[in-house]
Amino acid sequence: MLLTSLDLRGVPADELAAAVPRPPIEAALPTAEVGAILDAVRREGDAAVRDLTRRFDGVELGALRVGREEILDARESIAPGLRSALEVAYDRILAYHRHEPAPVADFTSDGVTVRHLVRAVGRAGLYAPGGRARYPSTVLMCAAPAQVAGVGELALCVPPGPDGHIATETLAAAAIAGVDEVYRIGGAQAVAALAFGTETIRAVDVIVGPGNRYVAEAKRQVAGIVGVPSAFAGPSEVVVVADETTPVEWAAIDIVVQAEHGPDGLAWLVTWSPALADAVASAVEELVVNSPRRTDLEATLGSGGYAVLVDGPDQALAVANTVAPEHLEILTTGAEGLLPLVRSAGAVFLGPYAPASVGDYLAGPNHVLPTSRTARFASALRVDDFRTHIHAVSLGGDALARLEPHVVAIAEAEGLPAHAESVRRRRETAPVRIHDGMETPVPAEGAR
């Protein structure tokens, strides 16, 4: 059987973390290999990018950047039904991200006003996987919240196919989403190029988008040089919680849906029905044998596929919270009633008619989700990942006089006399004048 059996019945909640297998990616992060790639691109720029693309993708690249005409031609050349679907998806993703909470109002206390300023980053780097499959949907998911945030420039990196080109569908999505620049590079070298800049690619402020473990590890290593959301957006994951009422074929196909993304992922069935576990495992076997992506499925399920038996719904959700999966599907009767038990998941899909594939494309929320247990502290990609928050403080002379003793006391306690003096001098030496409703100091003699 492709799904490894795991019986957790009777295991107490506080022992689940030790009993649940860790994601395979945690055991073999390519830290040294990714570090060497980042260093090569930082030192050699485009030459390193071309060399690494030749080595990893088997493609000899000329121009790294895809011409604007090719991108727009892609939008016109795809089937009308696909173009319509991409446009509908993009509109829905935009609408969802525009619905995210607005900035908080100004804060005023004892004469001090603090304004909340929200500023979009100037330039964002987007990453969409390629090679094994094409992902126009990921282009939409990365670009939409960036557009809503007001990012000035969007640069997209996609691994080239064997012919050195990017899939027409992916380029069409870039045109629909208003991406400014597209580059035919992938892997850790793409992350390095976006972070450090090369002769062709200008450095960005933020990098977003899912990828394999090399891409995810590269983003982790450049975090701090550029902004990287805290989620480890790596190989795909799903936990399907099912009971005796769940159609076997539905549970099986939903396991296969995420497993077909390729190796290093995770696909679990969690159930308290031994009969269902056996039936789903057999159905998964049949789907894999007949799939055109059989190799990818076998690689994923061989290392990260499990059929887990538990005592009941409470333990099932406790297991799910321990795994903290990217996608959590609750396909049971009364799925809504189990939602309060969910603590750690990238996205939750409730009931038999809510497969994760709807969330991958059209539900509206982002499909760039936390993996490798980072859903314990991280969330889906959102508008705020492309923004900074700045606070602007203003106060008048009266308010400063009231606060002065407190500022001085703390400054002196910390041994920072200039901090205290900066408040004292304003009180002692600067009368104020009122102009356009603002109090401003009168310059001292000799300072005019």
* Statement: residue 157 has pLDDT above 70: yes
| CB-based burial label for 121 (10 Å; 0-12, 13-18, 19+) | buried
Bin 251: left if φ > 0, else alpha if -120 < ψ < 50, else beta: alpha
Active site residue 329: no
Indicate the Cα dihedral angle 409, 410, 416, 417, nearest 10°.
-20
| Element holding 271 (H helix, E strand) | strand 266-271
For the beta sheet containing 107-109, the strands, ordered from the edge strand earlier in sequence to the opposite edge, are 107-109, 112-120, 387-395
pLDDT of residue 440: 60
| CATH number for the domain that contains residue 305 | 3.40.50.1980
User: 302-336, pLDDT tens digit by residue?
Assistant: 889 999 999 999 999 999 999 999 999 999 999 99
How many other CB atoms sit within 10 Å of the CB of residue 245? 12
pLDDT-derived band at 441 (thresholds 50, 70, 90) equals low
Give yes or no: residues 216 and 68 share one domain: yes
User: 76-115, pLDDT tens digit by residue?
Assistant: 999 999 999 899 989 988 988 888 766 667 888 888 898 9
377 domain-assigned: no
Give yes or no: residues 214 and 328 share one domain: no
Q: Which of 93-97, 140-144, 338-342 has the lowest mean pLDDT?
A: 93-97
Give yes or no: residues 294 and 241 share one domain: yes
β-strand partners of 66: 182
111 domain-assigned: no
Q: Total domain count for the chain?
A: 3
Q: What's 23's DSSP letter?
A: P
Nearest to 120 by CA among 354, 349, 386: 386
Per the structure, the complete domain to which residue 312 belongs is given by: 4-28+234-367
pLDDT of residue 116: 86
Residue that is written with structure tokens 């450095």 in the block = 203
Give yes or no: residues 280 and 404 share one domain: no
pLDDT of residue 21: 87
320 domain-assigned: yes
pLDDT-derived band at 436 (thresholds 50, 70, 90) equals low
Length of the chain: 448
Which residues, at least 6 apart from 381, have a Cβ–Cβ distance to it below 8 Å?
A: 141, 142, 145, 208, 229, 231, 233, 366, 368, 369
Report the relative pairing of strands 181-183 and 65-66 from DSSP bridges: antiparallel
pLDDT of residue 363: 92
User: 15-66, pLDDT tens digit by residue?
Assistant: 998 898 876 655 567 888 999 999 999 999 999 999 999 999 999 999 999 9
pLDDT of residue 442: 57
pLDDT-derived band at 207 (thresholds 50, 70, 90) equals very high
**Which whole number is the average pLDDT over 155-174?**
95
Given the residues 326, 391, 412, 421, the one annotated as active site: 326
Give yes or no: residues 167 and 91 share one domain: yes
* Statement: residue 437 has pLDDT above 70: no
**Which whole number is the average pLDDT over 436-444?**
55
Give yes or no: residues 8 and 84 share one domain: no
**Which whole number is the average pLDDT over 137-145?**
96
User: 399-428, pLDDT tens digit by residue?
Assistant: 999 899 999 999 999 999 999 999 999 988
Nearest to 181 by CA among 198, 221, 38: 198
pLDDT-derived band at 446 (thresholds 50, 70, 90) equals very low
Give yes or no: residues 180 and 289 share one domain: no
* Statement: residue 434 has pLDDT above 50: no
Give yes or no: residues 294 and 421 share one domain: no
CA distance 339 to 104: 28
Give yes or no: residues 154 and 226 share one domain: yes
* Statement: residue 290 has pLDDT above 60: yes
113 domain-assigned: no
User: 354-398, pLDDT tens digit by residue?
Assistant: 999 999 999 999 999 998 899 999 999 999 999 998 889 999 998
Reported as half-sphere exposure (CB side, CA atoms, 13 A), residue 112 has a value of: 11
Nearest to 24 by CA among 220, 307, 221, 235: 235
Question: What tokens were used for 88?
Answer: 């509908």
Q: What is the 3-state secondary structure (H, E, C) of 278-307?
A: HHHHHHHHHHHHCCCCHHHHHHHHHHHEEE
Give yes or no: residues 96 and 24 share one domain: no
Given the residues 327, 336, 391, 435, the one annotated as active site: 327
The average confidence (pLDDT) of the chain is 90
Active site residue 69: no
Q: What percent of the chain has pLDDT over 70?
A: 93
167 domain-assigned: yes
Give yes or no: residues 96 and 223 share one domain: yes
**Which whole number is the average pLDDT over 210-238?**
88
pLDDT of residue 26: 52
pLDDT-derived band at 448 (thresholds 50, 70, 90) equals very low
**Which whole number is the average pLDDT over 334-341?**
96
